């Protein structure tokens, strides 16, 4: 295994960004930057051994400075939506950015994917890890507590991208970290993912209002277009006359995972039969946001001259449930002072 690094440019504020590229002995290669702790590329083989980048992204640093779709992004302090951009904790109301109508989406300003992180490299015989860390100060984005954050990306010889989330706060706070990478197993610049086949280990999802805030209901997927318990094309039911799909313009929903939450378990299998590439997702988080890029407006400055549009990628954001800080029946997203926030997500790539 090896790691290389080179300049990734200078930010608008004059900070020097670095691009780190890790390669394993199978030829799988992943690039990361300390600007935003973003994943820039994921290059993996197909069944014939041909290599392709399966992660949507930008050709330069400027793209990541204006990364509204969240390509490759580390998201915090709270991924997904918070109703009314507010929550109550310990008898106090905290107000956040209203950056999606009246609600808060993915934390606010500054976005975790547009700030600099300290980087450390750790090399082992069968794994190389990149640790990105920073202190999110008290009331950054409106959230209480000084939050020490570490996200560690590791590439293994088993073609696994291992993501370890760690955080600790000096005050009770709300934390929900995730990764917002868009995947296309045919190659990042190959168009629609509607022919990809998908399996999700979930019997239930959380329906929403029209603004995609969960109602608090937990609904069975049985008999609905939301059912991916058997491998099926993403496009098979995406245009069905079903209210949750019409609200989101496709899939943009939180799935209640069938996991013990005590260990990392397989929750997703994504299959591209045209190339033989398969991606499996493992996690110990309680929820998964499955997003089929329904709202992705044309992005014209993608890597290799790519133009990305609707349905060009798919996201699997392991998470606490959306608006969990305001819906007491959901698993809590509150992190108590001094308590460790510790979660793991693995994206594993193979061929069939």
Per the annotation, the verdict on 123 as an active-site residue is no
Kind and range of the H or E run holding 64: helix 61-65
DSSP 3-state assignment of 252?
Answer: strand
Q: What is the mean pLDDT of each run of 10 residues along the chain (352 residues)?
A: 97 97 97 98 97 97 96 98 98 98 97 98 96 98 98 98 98 98 98 98 98 98 98 98 98 96 95 98 98 96 96 98 98 98 98 94
Distance, C-alpha 345 to centroid of its chain: 10
Residue 51 is part of which domain span? 2-351
| pLDDT attached to residue 262 | 86
pLDDT at 261: 83
Sign (positive/negative) of CA torsion 238, 108, 136, 143? negative
Identify the active-site residue in 180, 196, 253, 320.
180
CA 139 to chain centre: 23
Strand order in the sheet with 232-233: 118-124, 127-136, 147-156, 160-169, 340-351, 277-283, 265-272, 197-200, 232-233
Would you state the structure tokens that stand for residue 82, as one six-digit string?
């918070």
Q: Which of 131, 140, 269, 317 is catalytic?
A: 317
What is the length of the chain? 352
pLDDT of residue 174: 98
Residue 254's alpha-carbon distances to 12, 229, 233, 327, 338, in angstroms, are: 35, 15, 19, 14, 28
Element (H, E) at 86: strand 86-89
Looking at 185-321, list the stretches that DSSP marks H as alpha helix, in order from N- to C-terminal side.
243-248
Active site residue 125: no
Q: What's the first-to-final CA gap in the chain, in angstroms? A: 24
pTM: 0.98
Bond into 77 cis (ω within 30): yes
The number of distinct structural domains making up the chain is: 1
Tokens standing for 145?
């507590």
Helix (H, G, I), strand (E, B) or coil at 113: helix
State the CATH number of the domain containing residue 66.
Answer: 2.70.98.10
């Amino acid at each position: 295994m090896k790691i290389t690094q080179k300049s990734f440019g200078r930010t608008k504020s004059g900070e020097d960004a670095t691009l780190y590229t890790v390669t394993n002995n199978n030829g799988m290669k992943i690039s990361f930057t300390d600007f935003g702790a973003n994943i820039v590329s994921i290059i993996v083989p197909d069944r014939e051994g041909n290599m392709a980048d399966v992660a949507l992204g930008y050709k330069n640093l400027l793209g990541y400075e204006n990364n509204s779709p969240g390509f490759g992004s580390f998201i915090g302090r709270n991924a997904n939506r918070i109703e009314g951009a507010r929550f109550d904790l310990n008898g106090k109301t905290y107000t956040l950015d209203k950056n999606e109508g009246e609600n808060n989406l993915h934390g606010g300003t500054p976005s975790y994917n547009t700030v600099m992180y300290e980087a450390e490299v750790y090399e082992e015989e069968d794994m190389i890890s990149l640790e990105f860390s920073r202190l999110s100060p008290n009331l950054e984005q409106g959230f209480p507590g000084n939050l020490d954050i570490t996200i560690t990306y590791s590439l293994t010889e088993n073609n696994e991208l291992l993501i370890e989330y760690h955080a600790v706060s000096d005050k009770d706070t709300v934390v929900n970290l995730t990764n917002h990478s868009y995947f296309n197993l045919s190659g990042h610049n190959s168009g629609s993912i509607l022919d990809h086949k998908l399996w999700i280990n979930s019997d239930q999802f959380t329906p929403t209002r029209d603004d995609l805030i969960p109602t608090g209901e937990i609904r069975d997927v049985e008999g609905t277009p939301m059912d991916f318990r058997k491998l099926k094309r993403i496009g098979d039911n995406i245009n069905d006359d079903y209210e949750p799909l019409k609200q989101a313009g496709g899939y943009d929903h939180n799935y209640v995972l069938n996991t013990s939450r005590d260990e990392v378990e397989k929750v997703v299998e994504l299959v591209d039969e045209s190339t033989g590439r398969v991606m499996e997702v493992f996690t110990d988080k309680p929820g998964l946001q499955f997003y089929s890029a329904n709202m992705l407006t044309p992005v014209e400055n993608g890597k290799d001259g790519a133009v990305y549009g609707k349905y060009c990628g798919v996201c699997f954001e392991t998470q606490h449930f959306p608006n969990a800080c305001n819906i007491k029946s959901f698993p809590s997203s509150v992190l108590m002072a001094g308590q460790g926030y510790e979660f793991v997500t693995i994206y594993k790539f193979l061929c069939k």
